[in-house]
Amino acid sequence: MRIKQTQKQELAPLIEIPKPLHQLTDLEIQRKACIGKIMTYTLTSLTNTFVKKGFQWLLPIALSQSTDPLWPDPGASIEKRIEVDIYGKPVRTTASMIIHKLVAASTAYPKLFILSPNIRIEKAERAHTGKHIYEFTQLDFEARDATSKDIFALVEDAISLLVEGLKRDMQDELTMLCRCDSLKIPKAPFKIYDRVELEAKYGSDWEAGIAQDICEPVWVTNIPREFYDFEDFKTGKWDNYDLFLPQFGEVLSGAKREYEYKKILTKIECDQVKKENYALVLNMAKEGKLKPTAGAGIGMERLVGWIAGVKHIAECQPFPRVPGNVNEL
């Protein structure tokens, strides 16, 4: 039987909310510019790595009838979903491009990535955690016939190359951010934890526990969540994974994907997700057109936040998107 986890409580200390650009001092503007240069280098390095490995770069989607249900992921804390009517049909803002990736990787684009917008109106109480924003960007990628081990190797290589390059080419910026010495090149393969062992050690708030204890990136596997992540019905184990960073926790979420019609339908019904929102995926699976894939999404603000050593990941945005706060820009 599949178990739905209850939402965990946020135990992180309160972090000061980043100021908008026009309120920054001259020194704060210099710091902001350094973080921007780190973001530019990070985007360049990661996209170059994916292109060199044969991935096609697709353009993002902002509005769609079908997007990530974000349920029953215990980490989701959505206050509202934005839905509008266009041409007589309801569409929603992108929560993630997972559904688009499954269709694209099963058809014309067997290896793809997207710098995808994600709008998730987080509850205002998450404003001061330092790791939540209501609008962010993921480097979303998917590969046909890939395994979890393939994704591990791809990501570990991409992040190790990124940090190695940053320490070589961005010394002035890292020095100003006080990260030149403390930022270390991760050693592959990254350590892997099973979510069950972390729950046994830390309890229900295992995500906060592991994030505080680690000093380098680690993988966490076997996490119950949405219908599209692969689950072995016989053992109850999930073939999925998150990449955790010190302080910020999950920076990447991914999985081997479900592609069999009966399993997808069973999980959608179990989760009480509206089937009509995923009719295309269900029809493709029923017709055998949905292919086995694996992939993930990397949160760019959290990744750059870890690299730059920020207190709040909204520092990595030119126009901060902090839960509960709406600025003019």
Q: Where in the sequence is the domain holding 65, given as residue range(s)? A: 21-316
**pLDDT confidence of 8, banded at 50, 70, 90?**
very low
| Mean pLDDT within 147-172 | 98
Contact 174, 166 (CB under 8 A): yes
Does 145 reside within a domain?
yes
Residue 290 lies in a domain: yes
Residue 5 maps to a domain: no
Residue 1 lies in a domain: no
Decide if 68 is inside a domain. Answer: yes
Q: Report whether 4 contacts 224 (CB < 8 A).
A: yes
Does 185 have pLDDT greater than 60? yes
What is the model's pTM? 0.94
pLDDT of residue 73: 76
- Domain for residue 304, yes or no? yes
Query: Does some domain include residue 12?
Result: no
pLDDT (mean) for 220-246: 98
pLDDT in tens, 33-49: 999 999 999 999 999 99
Q: Strands 111-119 and 56-58: what pairing?
A: parallel
pLDDT at 294 over 50: yes
Report if residue 325 sits inside a domain.
no
The CATH number of the domain holding residue 164 is: 3.30.930.10
How many independent structural domains does the chain possess?
1
Which DSSP letter does residue 133 get?
-
Strand locations in the chain, DSSP E? 56-58, 63-64, 78-80, 83-86, 89-93, 111-119, 121-122, 135-144, 191-194, 218-221, 240-245, 249-256, 293-299
